[in-house]
A = this chain, B = another copy of it.
Amino acid sequence: MIWLVLAEAALETVPEALRAHPSVLADVKRKGTPPGKLLLDTNYHHSAMASLPGAEKRGRPDIVHFSLLAAMNTPLNAFFKKLRVCVHVMYPVERIIQVDPATRIPRSINRFEGIMGNLLSGKKQPTTGDDAPLFTIENMTLATFLSRFDPARIHAFSTTGKLRSFDDALPAIGNGCSEGDSDFAVIIGGFQGGHFEGQWMAKVPPENVHSIAPLPLDAWTVVARVVYMVEEAIANAARNPSCALPSNEK
């Protein structure tokens, strides 16, 4: 199974300290959303965010929206059934959102923001036909989340990584998923500017930090490409099963 984590994602409700700012009050009025459920958004709260630590990595719910749209309706999820998508949020505390694989991400950003506002503020969630929640959220650091993975199977994507080194990891991922018994974590930044900063980075072997392009890509493009690369690796593994390899000979 591939656990795709959108890490340090730019998704949070407006911090308490900013809720009296005129730009936030105007947005509350315009959207009719209670301040506790309003998502921080650089488009609308730019002036309020000037004093916010790490502002360049915050307030981009659209990044999470597009990234989930790019991940969910793919063969890796819907056909191979080898994908679990998580969103790691940082504020006000570290939490992990898990997306049920049957979830149809709403195409409307307004509807998506409504669901995320409810989720992050602890309100009732939409459910699947058999009443399973489509999104679940848990107080958990990403370091803790990653501790159940074999470190060799944790991969992160960053412009600081080695260009194209993920290609070398793909055959093992394809075989591991094809045989159905291995969990891999693939970690993609869910923010616009800056780099990964969390202590969880200590869980990622340096050789497993990959760059996949000669220029910075949007998060949703990294998601789309990594999902496709893994699918191809699984398809290749299915065509050339590892049981035919010498290491598996009896």
Contacts and interface: CB of A to CB of B under 8 A. Distances in A.
A100 B16 CA distance: 42
Interface stretch (A45-53, A74-82, A196-204): A74-82
Nearest to A224: B224
A73 B221 contact: yes
Interface string A84-96: 0000000000000
A179 interface: no
B79 A214 contact: yes
Q: In this complex, which of A78, A107, A220 has the most chain B Cβ atoms within 10 angstroms of its Cβ?
A: A107
The oligomer's copy count stands at 2
A238 interface: no
A66 B66 CA distance: 8
Interface residues of A, number: 24
A144 interface: no
A120 to B, nearest CB: 20
Given A66-B69, A228-B225, A75 B214 contact: yes
Interface in A4-56: 43
Interface string A199-221: 00000000000000111011011
A221 B70 contact: yes
B108 A74 contact: no
Nearest to A235: B164
A69 B218 contact: yes
A109 interface: yes
Nearest to A111: B43
Contacts of A183: none
A75 B213 contact: yes
A69 B215 CA distance: 16
Interface of A: 43, 60, 62, 66, 69-70, 73-75, 78-79, 107-109, 213-215, 217-218, 220-221, 224-225, 228
